[in-house]
């Protein structure tokens, strides 16, 4: 059976915010093929189904961080209000709030993406554990090999900070006067 939405598309929409794997309301609305406003209204009508560990609203600095990481193009993408972030349990609860056939199918695929992500993380932990056991077993001559494998296991963003794109113009500091300061000087 062909998936309604490719798993890779869903996986790219799973973000790590506040130490939790979440999906944003704007991304979920796109996947469910509904307006974000409609999704948010359905959630607000059923707010008792969404405790804090199921859903939370982003703050301004988190939204700005998403812009700086190129997760979203601009804060205007959110349509004037800060988006909600849904944990895996919150996404599962959305299926009881949105009762369209597409929402049910998309929800199943999102749950599969969360499970796959958990399996990948678990296998990575198992690999790290086995590597530690091997490192204890063998002496320092293999330390370089173990360090190289660990470096390959770390996510790319954790390895080196991204360099900012663009250029820096260094100008001498020119004291500009505000229009208020200018008026005060003129009166004296």
Interacting residues of 124 by C-beta distance below 8 A, sequence separation 6+ = 153
Q: How far is CA 122 from CA 11, 20, 57, 112, 115, in A?
A: 16, 16, 28, 15, 10
Q: How far is CA 131 from CA 56, 117, 160, in A?
A: 37, 21, 22
Residues 11, 99 share a domain: yes
The angle at the Cα of 168, spanning 162 to 173, to the nearest 5 degrees, equals 135
Let me know how long the chain is.
188
pLDDT band per the 50, 70, 90 thresholds, residue 66: confident
The predicted structure's pLDDT at residue 159: 47
The predicted structure's pLDDT at residue 47: 92
Residues 143, 97 share a domain: no
Task: Indicate whether 182 belongs to any domain.
Answer: no
Residues 130, 37 share a domain: no
Residues 28, 81 share a domain: yes
Residues 53, 101 share a domain: yes
Q: Of 117, 136, 167, which one is at a domain's C-terminal end?
A: 117
Note down the domain range covering 142. Answer: 122-159
User: Mean pLDDT over residues 26-31, rounded?
Assistant: 88
Q: Of 89, 117, 145, which one is at a domain's C-terminal end?
A: 117
Residues 52, 135 share a domain: no
Encoded tokens for 90: 């919150």
The predicted structure's pLDDT at residue 62: 85
């Amino acid at each position: 059976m062909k998936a309604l939405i490719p798993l890779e598309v869903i996986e790219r929409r799973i973000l790590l915010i506040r130490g939790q794997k979440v999906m944003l309301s704007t991304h979920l609305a796109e996947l469910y093929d509904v307006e974000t406003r409609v999704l948010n209204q359905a959630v607000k009508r059923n707010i008792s189904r969404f405790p804090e560990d199921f859903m939370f609203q982003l703050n301004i600095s988190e939204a700005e961080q998403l812009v700086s990481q190129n997760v979203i193009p601009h804060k205007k993408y959110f349509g004037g209000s800060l988006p909600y972030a849904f944990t895996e349990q919150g996404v599962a609860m959305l299926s009881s709030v949105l009762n369209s056939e597409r929402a049910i199918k998309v929800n199943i695929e999102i749950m599969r993406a969360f499970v796959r992500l958990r399996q990948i993380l678990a296998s990575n932990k198992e690999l790290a554990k086995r590597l530690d056991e091997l490192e204890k077993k063998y002496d320092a001559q293999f330390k370089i090999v173990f360090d190289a494998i660990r470096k390959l296991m770390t996510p790319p963003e954790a390895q080196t900070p991204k360099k900012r794109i663009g250029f820096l113009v260094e100008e001498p500091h020119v004291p500009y006067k505000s229009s208020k300061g200018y008026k005060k000087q003129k009166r004296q």
